[in-house]
Amino acid sequence: MRADLAASYGEERLPRYTSYPTAPHFSPVIGADTYARWLAELPASASASLYLHVPFCREMCWYCGCHTQIVRRDELIAAYQRTLCSEIAQVAETIGRRIKVEHIHFGGGTPTIMAPEAFAELMAAMRQAFFVLPSAEIAVEIDPRTLTADMVEAMRLSGVNRASLGVQSFDPIVQRAINRVQSFEQTADVVDMLRRAGIAGINFDLIYGLPHQTVASCLDTVRRSLSLAPDRFSVFGYAHVPDFKKHQRMINQGALPDGLARHDQACAIANALKEAGYVQIGLDHFARPGDSMAVAFEERTLRRNFQGYTTDQGEVLLGFGASAIGHLPQGYVQNEVQISAYAQSVSAGRLATAKGYGLTGDDRLRADIIERIMCEFGADLGDICARHGAEAETMLKSASRLKPLISDGVVRLDGDRLAVATDSRFLVRSVAAAFDAHLDPGKQLHSRAV
């Protein structure tokens, strides 16, 4: 990574491009009626992935950027689970058949905050409403501090085969500064429980750019994590947006590392994981050689969705729960963010869609270009544009933000083929942003580019 480029571009606020256009461009013009029509129009051959959002935690991690709330009463969680089951039935009825499902992902919040029997009921509801393939990947995000043996058993019996553990940092100073005290021993015990239950796919989530974090503490966290041998790592830069996430105001902004320090931390983590034998996948994922994600990266079939990089090849993502986002060939939909409004819609027999976005031809073209850049650090603009009935020359002329990136050696153009320089790959979001026709640089809606 080049420190001079990190200084030049690192302070930009840019999307992570888990979708295009990104969520700030969603509009209430797309509502429940539109979503119902889009669902009914799905072709008979369509298969789907399911995302379930569980917006509850036992305590707030101050770095969190998710839609979640603190809950002490288990009755609220149980009521929400029943609402999820109802929404699943509504969507399946609107589709009109048991669509095939290849991926299921539980996010949050803390999905394992549910009672084990409630989790099992929810999985049963999905299997009744949809045809969940025997080969389906079923993944759950886990807070190791609260996972119980009973929940692990419920996950095993429900067919869960991948678990993503929030680690962030093992540095106790950093943990206290973000209100997430989690010992290495807790994490190791959970990994052992999961593996003994046959849940073999283990992912770790790490974060750099946290208060009081240093290169040394990042490397210590990596060293400890490697001793537990997860299959994959996700390594994210902390997004400090206290105007949007009020609890982030509890973090001492003066203790946050600057852009160059963030760059050094990201570089150190990436180098340590690669030296340990992991393959770097796109911007922020790492996987063991032979892992399905590493294979997808090698074969250029890697995709990107709201969970980040994925092996999911489907064009249909059905989102369930408050704030959940779905993606269909026609566009994006997002449910009501507030839990009460979400529950009221579902209990009234209405789809809970609050807003969305209908894709244009130009959006689809740019989405394809941006996805390939994010996944492959390059794009064959001629091929992609030809598939969309467009001209690569026209697209390049519209990408005015590309010129300084080329001048600075971040991007190389060989005819219509674009490639991000190896030492500049940490700026892949800046390159993708050159093709974002909706980006408003004046709005601080996103995280730093580095």
Q: What percent of the chain has pLDDT over 70?
A: 97
Residue 39: predicted pLDDT: 98
Whether 33 has a pLDDT exceeding 90, the answer reads yes
The rounded distance, in Å, linking the Cα atoms of 214 and 174 is 9
Q: What is the tens place of the pLDDT at every residue in 304-343? A: 998 889 999 888 999 999 999 999 999 999 999 999 999 9
Residue 224: predicted pLDDT: 98
Domain boundaries, the chain: 21-358, 361-448
Residue 12: predicted pLDDT: 80
Q: What is the tens place of the pLDDT at every residue in 357-378? A: 999 999 999 999 999 999 999 9
What dotted CATH number matches 361-448? 1.10.10.920
**Residue 73, phi-psi category: left (phi > 0), alpha (psi -120 to 50), beta (remainder):** beta
Same fold, 21-358 and 361-448: no
Whether 445 has a pLDDT exceeding 70, the answer reads no
Q: What percent of the chain has pLDDT over 90?
A: 86
Number of C-beta neighbours around residue 271 at 10 A: 14
* pLDDT band at 448; cut points 50, 70, 90: low
Query: What average pLDDT does the structure give for the chain?
Result: 94
Taking the model in full, what pTM does it have?
0.93
* pLDDT band at 291; cut points 50, 70, 90: very high
Whether 84 has a pLDDT exceeding 60, the answer reads yes
Whether 245 has a pLDDT exceeding 80, the answer reads yes
Range 21-358 has CATH code 3.40.1130.10 = no
* pLDDT band at 450; cut points 50, 70, 90: low
Residue 171: predicted pLDDT: 98
Number of C-beta neighbours around residue 288 at 10 A: 16
